[in-house]
Amino acid sequence: MITVAGIDCGTNSIRLMIASMDNDGLHVIVPRIMRVVRLGEGVDVHHAFSSAALSRVYEAIDEFAEIIDHHHVDYVRFVATSATRDAKNRHEFESYIYERLGIYPDVISGEEEARLSFLGATSVLDMNKFEAPYLVVDLGGGSTELVLGDAQNPSQIEAAYSMNIGSVRMSERYHLEDAPQEDAISAAIEDIDGNITRAATTVPLHKVRTIIGVSGTVTTMSAIAIGQTEYHQESIDGTIIEIDDVDAVNNRVVRMSRVERDTLSVVHPGRRDVIGAGALVWSRVLKNISDCVEADGGHITSYVASEHGLLDGIVLDLATRKYAEISA
């Protein structure tokens, strides 16, 4: 048996999961622990981490290091994504991680992020209930990954594309954090749609038959759409959500003031200033996919909300590879 830890350090939050693997498969020891650190604050403009953002993420890394030591973890993989790819001072961040965890972060490409997100999202769903091909949409703070594939062989995805649009990046770029003006929303929509159009030249969106949405934005908007007033993970994970229902919520939330968003108890406090931008990205992604499918004679009216994505993929991939090495 081996014990592994995966850390997913994104633009808005950092997450930890610990699991063991033996001949019977993967066993989660420490379910996802999330801390909102806003590492990507200002990166879209300044292309560098701020000292305040680094302090927040260092505090979380210190906490995670203690948990990892307590569980006598054999292997750790620290994955950094969009914000770290863009930060010119990332060496300081990388050095701190090495000092605390003894490893350097993997600053993965958008395509690798997409592959791991697909693996994580499809590994826990009963895919026999859904029609292939499956499109996993991982809507993060700095980027959004689209990955098309067949869950029967998640290591062989058909196509993937990483778009530099996310809840933090778009909120800062178009000032969508507090009752945005309609011209700001329109400019953001033009930017988002342009990114999706470019993505569609790589990912054949017209072929999609099942959409699986992962990330905090997607699950949060799904919770609001089904009428939750407090977030209940078990009621969201694997739930089929009608696109029309969530679209109405998306369009309402993006136009809210910060005061109004603060009344949405289902939204994590660390996400309330950027949830409007995230909702707008999710709304446009769903519309563009639906339009592409319908133009090809298909029809798609819903998606599957999933609590599982990149972090699950990191842990499963690491555990599978390392267990195979020691078993060879």
Is 314 part of any domain?
A: no
Is 263 part of any domain?
A: yes
Is 50 part of any domain?
A: yes
Of 33, 35, 32, 30, the closest CA to residue 13 belongs to 35
- Residue 316 corresponds to which tokens in the numbers above? 């499963």
Which range marks the domain in which residue 134 is found? Answer: 125-306
pLDDT at 83: 65
pLDDT, tens digit, for every residue of 46-103?
Answer: 888 999 999 999 999 999 999 999 999 999 999 987 667 778 888 999 999 999 999 9
Q: Same domain for 290 and 169? A: yes
pLDDT, tens digit, for every residue of 5-14?
Answer: 999 998 889 9
Calculate mean pLDDT across residues 124-142: 90
127 vs 177 pLDDT, higher one = 177
Helix (H, G, I), strand (E, B) or coil at 233: helix
The count of structural domains within the chain is 2
pLDDT at 254: 97
Sign (positive or negative) of CA dihedral 96, 14, 121, 73: positive
Calculate mean pLDDT across residues 132-147: 93
pLDDT at 81: 77
pLDDT at 12: 86
Q: Same domain for 66 and 160? A: no
Of 250, 298, 306, 266, the closest CA to residue 126 belongs to 306
Q: Same domain for 94 and 129? A: no
216, pLDDT greater than 80: yes
Of 122, 177, 186, the closest CA to residue 152 belongs to 122
Backbone angles phi, psi at 157, to 5 degrees: -75, 150
Q: Same domain for 95 and 163? A: no
pLDDT at 265: 93
Q: Same domain for 284 and 220? A: yes
pLDDT at 15: 96
- Residue 5 corresponds to which tokens in the numbers above? 């830890």
Is 115 part of any domain?
A: no
Domain containing residue 196: CATH number: 3.30.420.150
Q: Same domain for 86 and 208? A: no
Is 317 part of any domain?
A: no
230 vs 75 pLDDT, higher one = 75
Q: Same domain for 76 and 186? A: no
154, pLDDT greater than 90: no
Q: Same domain for 238 and 171? A: yes
pLDDT, tens digit, for every residue of 286-313?
Answer: 999 999 999 999 999 999 999 999 999 9
Of 8, 235, 243, 248, the closest CA to residue 119 belongs to 8
pLDDT at 82: 62
Q: Same domain for 252 and 169? A: yes
Point out the domain boundary residue: 53, 73, 108.
108
Is 313 part of any domain?
A: no
Q: What is the pTM of this model?
A: 0.90
Strand order in the sheet with 144-149: 159-163, 144-149, 134-139, 210-214, 302-306, 239-242
178, pLDDT greater than 70: yes
Q: Same domain for 129 and 260? A: yes
Q: Same domain for 55 and 195? A: no
pLDDT at 10: 87
Q: Same domain for 69 and 26? A: yes
Backbone angles phi, psi at 201, to 5 degrees: -75, -15
Calculate mean pLDDT across residues 124-134: 88
pLDDT, tens digit, for every residue of 263-281?
Answer: 999 998 989 999 999 999 9
Is 238 part of any domain?
A: yes
Is 325 part of any domain?
A: no
* CA–CA–CA angle 16, 152, 287 (5° rounding): 75
